Structure formats: C-alpha cells, structure tokens
C-alpha cells in the first residue's frame, strides 16, 4: 500500500473541502491516487465537485483586446502580485496583446515578434526580468474570430483597462446589428467570468468527463438502495443538472436566473431580426492550473537563525 503523507492529505482536503480523517480514509481506499480519492469522497457525499483549476499559483496579468470580428487573449506570468501593479509590466502586456491581435500570432511566433522598443517579445521579457528582478514568461494566447458578427470581451478585476486577472472573449456569428450583438456579447462574457463553463454546448462535453460523472452519480444512487430502473432515472435527471452547471448554453443567466443563456441569445435574435450563433468563447483565469510552491515562513526563519549561530 502506498504511503499516505500528511502533504497528500492536506492537498486532498484543499481540493475537496472534506474533513482530514475522511481525506485520509479516501486516500487509503484508493492507494494514494488523488483523483480517485476525489471521486471516492464525492461518491460518499463528503466533497463538493472537484476544483478543476486547483490553487491559483502564478501572478502577472491577463490581457484582452478586440477589433470588430476578431479578438485575442494573452497571459504573461510573473512571480508576485507586485509586478502586476508595475507600469512597465502593464505596458508590456498591453503591447504584446496588441501585437498578438494584429498579427494573429501563435504563442511561438509572438515570442519572436517585435514588441514595443524591443526586437522580440523574448528580448523584452529578458529586459523586464533584469529591471524588475522577477522571472516572467509568456504562458498562453488564444484568438477568436467570426466571418460576420462580433467578438466581445470582458475583464474582471481589471488593474487598468483590458488588463487583469480574469479575461473572457465571446464570438457571436450574426448578420444583425453589431451594437446589439456587442451588448449581448459583453453580458455573456460577464456571465462566463462568473460561471466558468467548461463547454459551449452539450455535444462539446468530453466523453471521459461525462463518464466519470455518471459513475459517481450511479454509485451515489445505488447507495440509496433504490431499484435499478429508478436509479437510471435518477442518474438521467442528475446528468441534466450536471450539464446546467458546466455547459454555457444550458447555464442559468447570472443577470436573470429564469433564463438560460440559449434563451437570452434567442430573445436577442428575435429583437434584431437575425439568427445569432455563439461561435466560441475562451476564459483565462490568471495562474489557473499552476501550483505555487508552499513555504513554511517560520521554518525558514528558524533555519536561517540556526545557520547564523
């Protein structure tokens, strides 16, 4: 049996919110497999849905920029939140986002593109690292575009316009009034920032994600002792609820919970007299999926004190 360390138990507790002893038992039951332990806790009703992104660990800025029917979102990381408030870093991220949008760059081609007064983005980052004294890197970028329609953006927790911690782009395909489309796109982008959907429509949900959720729901239903045919109906109902939680078009609109996003789109289409299709969206939360090294400050101070004796 795998050794269950205190660090592993703590990590599971942070990801699920379950009790310490429940986390330890889950890890014992799953031979130390963290993902299986999360599912075990959920099956027993001891944890909420797993936090997909984990703890936000990287700092820096997300930048968004749009121009009519195109848009770009970029993330550039640094070590501390202090850098996000630095004018030089803010200007650099804004310039990099503008260059990425104009040139429709990939992440690799952007690294070699001229940004501001620097010959390449990588040269600019090297200069900033020397000036500010922190490591930095271009982590990711995404473009959205439509043939007819608009790409709208929203920045949550903006430190300056178009730069902040949670950025969203939404692409709407339509021949309708662009002002009305932009207004709708902004509202949907704000909704996405708050609700963090993982798929645009039901057919986009990864089969592996759906299968995992169904297995958990089946085990939960069987624990109730109901007949198998009742269990299947229970699971079908809960899968529908699952879609309402993670699929954008199935989610309840944050500004009017009586309407689904799909209904909000349909209502606006009737208003402007032209069909509207949500062609895509992207949501960047600063540092999502990156684990920051934890340090025990008291232990560090003690170690330094011991070394100075």
pLDDT tens for 25-48 read 889 999 999 888 888 887 776 664
Q: What is the pLDDT of residue 277?
A: 97
User: Is residue 256 helix, strand or coil?
Assistant: strand
Please report which residue ranges of 133-227 form alpha helices under DSSP H: 178-195, 207-222
Share of the chain above pLDDT 70, in %: 89
Report how far Cα 112 is from the mean position of its chain's Cα atoms.
27
Of residues 225 and 72, which shows the higher confidence score?
72
User: pTM of whole model > 0.85?
Assistant: no
Q: What is the pLDDT of residue 233?
A: 78
- Mean pLDDT score, 167-183: 97
> What confidence tier does 49 reach under pLDDT thresholds 50, 70, 90?
very low
Strand partners, 247: 199
User: Is residue 59 helix, strand or coil?
Assistant: strand
Please state which CATH number belongs to domain 59-199+262-285. 3.30.479.20
Q: How far apart are CA 44 and CA 222, in angstroms?
A: 11
Strands 149-156 and 70-78: unpaired
Share of the chain above pLDDT 90, in %: 51
For residues 274 and 173, is the Cβ–Cβ distance under 8 A? no
Q: Which CATH architecture is the domain 9-51 placed in?
A: Orthogonal Bundle (1.10)
- Write the pLDDT tens digit of every residue in 185-211: 999 999 999 999 999 999 998 888 888
Residues of the chain with CATH 3.30.479.20: 59-199+262-285
Q: How far apart are CA 170 and CA 186, in angstroms?
A: 8
Q: Which residues contact 18 (CB under 8 A, 6 or more apart)?
A: 12, 26, 41, 46, 47
For residues 56 and 286, is the Cβ–Cβ distance under 8 A? yes
Strands (E) across 69-126 are located at 70-78
Q: What is the pLDDT of residue 50?
A: 43
- Mean pLDDT score, 251-256: 95
In angstroms, the Cα distances linking 27 to 2, 33, 218 are: 9, 6, 21
CB neighbour burial string for 8-32, b if at least 16 within 10 angstroms, e if fewer: bbebbbebbebeeebbbbbbeebee
**Two structure tokens written together for 165:** 């911690």
- Mean pLDDT score, 170-194: 97
Neighbours of 33 (CB within 10 A): 14
**Two structure tokens written together for 189:** 């982008």
Residues of the chain with CATH 1.10.8.10: 9-51
Q: Which range is most confident: 24-33, 70-79, 133-142, 220-229?
A: 70-79
* CA neighbor of 289 nearest in space, from 12, 119, 81, 55: 55
pLDDT mean across residues, the chain: 86
> What confidence tier does 256 reach under pLDDT thresholds 50, 70, 90?
very high
Q: How far apart are CA 196 and CA 271, in angstroms?
A: 27
Of residues 297 and 267, which shows the higher confidence score?
267
Q: How far apart are CA 90 and CA 165, in angstroms?
A: 12
Q: What is the pLDDT of residue 116?
A: 84
């Amino acid at each position: 049996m795998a050794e269950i360390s205190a660090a592993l138990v703590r990590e599971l507790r942070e990801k699920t919110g379950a009790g310490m002893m429940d986390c330890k038992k889950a890890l014992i039951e799953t031979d130390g497999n963290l993902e299986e332990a999360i599912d075990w806790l959920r099956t027993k009703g001891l944890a909420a849905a797993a936090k997909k992104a984990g703890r936000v660990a990287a700092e820096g800025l997300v930048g968004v920029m749009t121009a009519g029917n195109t848009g770009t979102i970029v993330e550039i990381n640094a070590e501390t939140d202090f850098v996000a408030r630095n004018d030089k870093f803010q200007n650099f991220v804004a310039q990099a986002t503008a260059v990425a949008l104009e040139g429709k760059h990939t992440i690799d081609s952007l690294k070699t593109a001229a940004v501001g007064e620097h010959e390449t983005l990588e040269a600019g980052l090297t200069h900033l690292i020397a000036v500010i004294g922190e490591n930095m890197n271009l982590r990711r970028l995404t473009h959205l575009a439509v043939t007819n329609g608009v790409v709208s953006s929203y920045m949550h927790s903006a430190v300056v316009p178009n730069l902040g911690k949670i950025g969203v782009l939404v692409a709407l395909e339509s021949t309708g009034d662009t002002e009305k489309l932009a207004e709708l796109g902004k509202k949907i982008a704000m909704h996405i920032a708050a609700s963090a959907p993982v798929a645009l429509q039901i057919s986009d949900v990864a089969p592996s994600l759906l299968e995992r959720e169904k297995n958990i729901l089946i085990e939960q239903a069987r624990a109730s002792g109901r007949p198998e045919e009742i269990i299947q109906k229970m699971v079908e109902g809960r899968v529908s609820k699952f879609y309402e939680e993670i699929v954008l078009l199935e989610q309840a609109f944050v500004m009017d919970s009586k309407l689904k996003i799909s209904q909000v789109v349909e209502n606006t289409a009737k208003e402007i007299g032209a069909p509207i299709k949500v062609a895509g969206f992207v949501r960047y939360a600063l540092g999502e999926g990156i684990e920051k090294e934890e340090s025990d400050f008291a232990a560090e101070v003690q170690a330094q004190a011991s070394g100075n004796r």
